[in-house]
Amino acid sequence: MDISFALTGKGYVLVAADTTAARSIIKMKSDEDKIKVLSPHLLMAFSGEPGDTVNFAEYVERNLRLYHIRHTYPLRPASAASWIRRSLAESLRSRSPYSVNLLLGGYDTATHTPELYWVDYLGTMTSVPFGAHGYGSYFALSLLDRYHDPEAGLEEGLAALRRCIDEVSKRLVVSPGKYKVKVVDKDGVREIEL
Amino acid sequence: MSIMQYNGGSVIAMVGKDCVAIASDLRLGNQSLGISSNFEKIFAMTERTYVGLPGLATDVTTLHEQLRYRLNMYTIKEERTMEPETFIHLVSSTLYEKRWGPYFIEPVLAGMQKTPSGAFRPFVASTDLIGCINFAKDFVVAGTASEKLFGVAEGLWEPDLEPEDLFETISQTLLNAVDRDAYSGWGAVVHVITKDKVVKRTLKGRMD
Amino acid sequence: MEAISHAGTVLGVLAKDGVVLAAEKKVTGKLLDMSGSKEGGYGGSGEKIFLLNSNVISGVAGLTADANSLVNYSRQTAQGHLFNYNDDIPVELLVQRLCDLKQGYTQYGGLRPFGVSILYAGYDPHYQFQLYHSDPSGNYSGWKATCIGANNGTAQSLLKQEYKDDIGIDEAVGLVLRTMSKTMDSTTLGSEKLEFATLTLDADKRPKAKIYKPAEIDALLVKHDLAKKDEDAEMRAA
């Protein structure tokens, strides 16, 4: 079961996801990237049914890229999130629905605000200060209720994220070993080593 | 566990003297796990028509976008705003269109209806998830705390409340009802609508 | 193309804090029922200036029936964008979508193109205020000030002389009305021959389209000293 966390801070959004690709009880891979860069200022962590996840992520990635090429500017995070949500909501009532849960972290270059959206496979979307999917959410949400600060600098944000990861490693029976962390801010997207 | 209880949330609307009020909680959950304490379920459709959409959260967004599309096309072609009584029929037919695969939403509507004489009269109504309309004279409720809301509202509501008194009544009704419901709460929002203005207030609630 | 050169003039001017559109109405007369445009609605008589979306207004010149069909198409396109992306459609994108449709009718035999030129005044967060023109072939271009319909050459040269780059909305209104009064066939301006609209930002920085009602147009003309004058009164005074 995949685990992903995301949280906002002063002018940035942090997105983290584990790097395990598993089949049943067997780890097949331990350096899988489950965070897609959708546009210069938009990140998407995806989890759920294996197969659906990568297929849906690539579908989204290419449609947003097409919009960018056609109109010379990319969709803003809120609009991109709305479009992705609709794709999932329409898929839910189709013959073969995608089972994919998402965390969308973006930086709106027009309003200069960091934005984070929690999206599930039903097409439920809400804007949140922090969010999580998978078994990690039971630990992370309560920790972040206590330690999250929307005005925190990057170092403080990373410290809060480390708390979540450490707690999951300590308390969860099937905890993953490694995480990939990406951040999006006014300068765009980059990866961070924890 | 019914799909109507999956995300939680409740809405109530009440009639007052030359005013109406509509209020909802702000919780979005995944069964018992709380996800967001800022999920608004009440939407301003026109300047004096507000609709609350409690139920499955994905359908809250989808139905709101669907209704906004249809309302905007009506407004721009007819060159006039839609009245609440017309709007509830639009809601009804939009829901009945999906009779055999419904949106899991039970809408609640509050608005000021223009009468032929040019005056305004308070109007509230609700529908079930396939669009059967309930026109009420006093109040309407929906959502996971609807049974509790019925009880408290039955006790607190009285006819011809002024806007400030109506605000107090609807706020107390909502806050006390959702405290007895695990799937609703986490703050509330109240709109009091009179013929020429709307006052929106956000209330703090128990965060457990 | 022929119909457009005879159609009522439509004039647009882009200012730094808004856009102004004005149009000359051709279908007028004592017996024309104008009660619809006087009461209710968002203003305008529905002949020349239309609201396409909360952030775009348009002025049309050419075949009225074709124009109505295009206006309907663009309204659906704009609402479709709002539906899918939860945001107002960027102005250039709306123009592009309409031009794609127009171009389609020039490519295949058997069908005639839409005989309509359109001016679009709009706002979006990408490029702020914008003014576009599109012709029946599906070509479009952005302008600071431009004009379509009858006498558009005269109006163009007048605009070219008087336009300044940092023009404000109030000056733009004056410029549009002055240019309009010089290009129109009739000697005096009045609400029965004129449609007028502005697009500005409201206090919350959201685009606000205003299509003037007949009484508001007359008030505006009086303010700019271009209103119909009572000639008898002038004679007596002299």
CATH of the domain at C221: 3.60.20.10
- Range C213-217, long-range pairs (CB < 8 A, 24+ positions): C213/C37, C213/C38, C213/C43, C214/C34, C214/C37, C214/C38, C215/C38, C215/C191, C216/C43, C217/C190, C217/C191
Nearest CB to B58 within list A89, A127, A131: A89
Out of A155-164, B29-38, C190-199, which region has the weakest mean confidence (pLDDT)? C190-199
Q: How far is B162 from chain A (nearest CA, A)?
A: 35
Question: pLDDT band for position C237 (50/70/90)?
Answer: low
What's the number of domains chain C is made of?
1
Q: Is A131 an interface residue toward B (CB < 8 Å)? A: yes
Residue C24 to residue C188: CA distance in whole angstroms: 12
- pLDDT tens, C144-155? 999 998 878 888
Q: Which of C20, C9, C7 is CA-nearest to residue C143?
A: C20
In the prediction, which pLDDT does C37 show? 61
In the prediction, which pLDDT does C106 show? 84
Q: Which of residues 153-192 of A touch B (CB under 8 A)?
A: none
Residue A71 sits at φ, ψ, to 5 deg, of -110, 5
CB-CB contact of A92 with A52 (8 Å): no
Give mean pLDDT, residues B150-165. 98
pLDDT at C230 over 60: no
Out of A65-74, B23-32, C39-48, which region has the weakest mean confidence (pLDDT)? C39-48
- At A123, the amino acid letter reads G
Distances (CA, A) of B106 to B36, B55, C170, C194: 21, 6, 49, 48
CB–CB of B73 and C42 under 8 A? no
If you write DSSP's letter for every residue of A97-163 in order, what string do you get?
---EEEEEEEEETTTTEEEEEEE-TT--EEE-SEEEESTHHHHHHHHHHHH--TT--HHHHHHHHHH
Task: Please indicate whether residue C228 or residue B34 has the higher confidence score (pLDDT).
Answer: B34
Helix residue spans in C86-168 (DSSP H): 91-107, 152-162
Distances (CA, A) of B185 to B168, C88, C136: 17, 32, 57
Residue B67 to residue A87: CA distance in whole angstroms: 18
CB-CB contact of C154 with C182 (8 Å): yes
In the prediction, which pLDDT does B26 show? 98
For chain B, the first-to-last Cα distance in angstroms comes to 21
**Mutation target among C82, C84, C85 for the A interface, most CBs of A within 10 A:** C85
pLDDT at B95 over 60: yes
Residues of A in Cβ contact (< 8 Å) with B35? 118, 126, 128, 131, 141
Question: pLDDT band for position C76 (50/70/90)?
Answer: very high
Nearest CB to B36 within list A122, A128, A138: A128
Structural domain containing residue C62: 2-28+36-237
In the prediction, which pLDDT does C21 show? 95
Share of chain C above pLDDT 70, in %: 86
Q: Which of C14, C21, C10 is CA-nearest to residue C210?
A: C21
Residues of C in Cβ contact (< 8 Å) with B65? 83, 86
In the prediction, which pLDDT does C232 show? 53
**Mutation target among A68, A79, A84 for the C interface, most CBs of C within 10 A:** A79
pLDDT at C62 over 70: yes
Q: Which of C132, C124, C122 is CA-nearest to residue C57?
A: C122
Out of A79-83, A145-149, C41-45, C73-77, which region has the weakest mean confidence (pLDDT)? C41-45
CB–CB of B36 and A120 under 8 A? no
In the prediction, which pLDDT does A112 show? 95
Neighbours of C195 (CB within 10 A): 26
Residue B43 in tokens: 């939407």
Q: What is the DSSP letter of A34?
A: -
Q: Mean pLDDT across chain C, nearest whole number? A: 86
Count of CB pairs separated by less than 8 Å, A with B:
45
Q: Is A122 an interface residue toward B (CB < 8 Å)? A: yes
In the prediction, which pLDDT does C109 show? 72
- pLDDT tens, C153-165? 888 888 988 899 9
Residue B36 to residue B8: CA distance in whole angstroms: 11
- pLDDT tens, C100-125? 999 988 887 777 889 999 999 999 99
Question: pLDDT band for position C5 (50/70/90)?
Answer: confident
Task: Please indicate whether residue C183 or residue B18 has the higher confidence score (pLDDT).
Answer: B18
Q: Which residues in chain A land under pLDDT 50?
A: none
Give mean pLDDT, residues C162-175. 92
Distances (CA, A) of A122 to A107, A119, B3, C142: 25, 8, 11, 42
3-state SS assignment for residue C148: strand
- pLDDT tens, A14-68? 999 999 999 988 999 999 999 999 999 999 999 999 999 999 999 999 999 999 9
Question: pLDDT band for position C189 (50/70/90)?
Answer: confident
Q: Name the burial class of residue C33, with classes exposed (0-12), middle (13-18) and buried (19+) by CB atoms within 10 angstroms of its CB.
A: exposed
Task: Please indicate whether residue C181 or residue A116 has the higher confidence score (pLDDT).
Answer: A116
Nearest CB to B79 within list C42, C76, C82: C42
SS3 content of chain B, % helix, strand, coil (to 5): 30, 35, 35
Residues whose CB falls within 8 Å of the CB of residue B109, separated by 6 or more in sequence, listed in order: B13, B22, B49, B50, B51, B52, B84, B87, B88, B91, B123, B124, B125, B126, B140
